[in-house]
Amino acid sequence: MTDQHPPATRFRLDIAYDGTDFSGWARQPGLRTVQGVLEDAIARLFGRRGDEPGLTVAGRTDAGVHATGQVAHVDLHARHAEALTRQNRRDTVIQSPGEVFARRMNGVLGRRSDVVVTSASEAPDGFDARFSASWRRYAYRIADDVTGRNPLERNTVVWHPGALDVEAMDAAARELVGLHDFGAYCKPREGATTIRTLQDFRWSRDGAGYVVAEVKADAFCHSMVRSLTGACVSVGEGRLAAADLVRLRDAGARTSAFAVMPAHGLVLVQVGYPEDDLLAARAELTRAKRTLN
C-alpha cells in the first residue's frame, strides 16, 4: 500500500519581532499576531492548501512583548522542502535549504516588516522548539529619573517616575531563584502547573543607564516575568523588602502588593537547547508533570 503522506522535513526558524502592533504570538481570529503573519507568509511562499501543521513556538509572548531570539519549528511536506533546494539562476553562492527558506520568507514579509526570520535550518532529529528547550531568557528595560527618557525607545523601554534602588532590586531578585511554585507571580490557567525553576534573576544598569533585568528559567507561566519585575520595582521604590517577595512567593496566592509591569519593556532574548543527541530526551522530560521534588 502506497504511503499517502510522505515524510515531512522539520525546519527550525529563529525569529525577531517588534511586538508593538501584534496581539501576541498565538493566532487569534480577527487579530494580527506573530504566528498569523508568519503562517500566512509560509502559505504564500508554498501555496499551501491548509494540509500542513502550523508553527510550534518555544514560548508564546503576550501582546506588546518583543523578541530578538524567538524559536519555532515547522514541518514541510517533501515537495515544499524540495523547492528550497532549487537555486535562483542569478545566485552566485550556493545556499542551504534553510538559508533559502529564510531569504524567501523575508522577501514575502517585506523590507519594513516588524517580524523577521533571522535564520532557518533543517532541524536535527528529536528537535521540538517548545519541548526540547532547556531554558528561556528575557530582558526587561526601565528608564527611571536617573536615565532620562528617549522618545525613540518609548515602545521598548518603560518610563518610570523617580529613581530606583537597583542594588536592592538585584538582592531581592536573587532571593527568588530556584525551584518553586510561582503561583503568586503568575496568572493561573486551568490545568497548568505554576512550578518553575528560576535559574537566574538579576538587575543592573547598562551602559546607557537603563535599569535592566535578566530573567532565565526552564519555562515561564503566564505573566510571570512581568510580575517578578513588578515586585522588584516595588523593592526599588522602597515599598517592599526582599523578604516580602519570598513571603509572597511561598504563600502561593495572587496578590495586589505590587503591579504587573507593562508588556512593552519585555524582550525574549534567547532560547537554549541541549546537544542534538539529548533533544528527544529533553522533550520527553519537559512533557512530564512538574513537581517540587
Q: Which residues are catalytic?
A: 62
| Amino acid code (one letter) for 139 | A
Long-range contacts of 225-228 (CB under 8 A, 24+ apart): 225/138, 225/140, 225/266, 226/140, 226/260, 226/261, 226/262, 226/263, 226/266, 227/184, 227/185, 227/186, 227/258, 227/260, 227/261, 228/173, 228/176, 228/182, 228/185, 228/198, 228/201
Question: Residue 150's CB: how many other CB atoms inside 10 A?
Answer: 13
Specify whether the backbone of 24 is left (phi greater than 0), alpha (psi in -120 to 50) or beta.
Answer: left
CB 12 within 8 Å of CB 123? yes
Residue carrying C-alpha cell 538582592: 171
- The residues that bridge with 46 in the sheet, in sequence order, are none
Question: Residue 37's CB: how many other CB atoms inside 10 A?
Answer: 17
Hey, is 121 helix, strand or coil?
Answer: strand
CB 18 within 8 Å of CB 88? no
CB 6 within 8 Å of CB 78? yes
Distance CA 16, CA 13 (A): 10
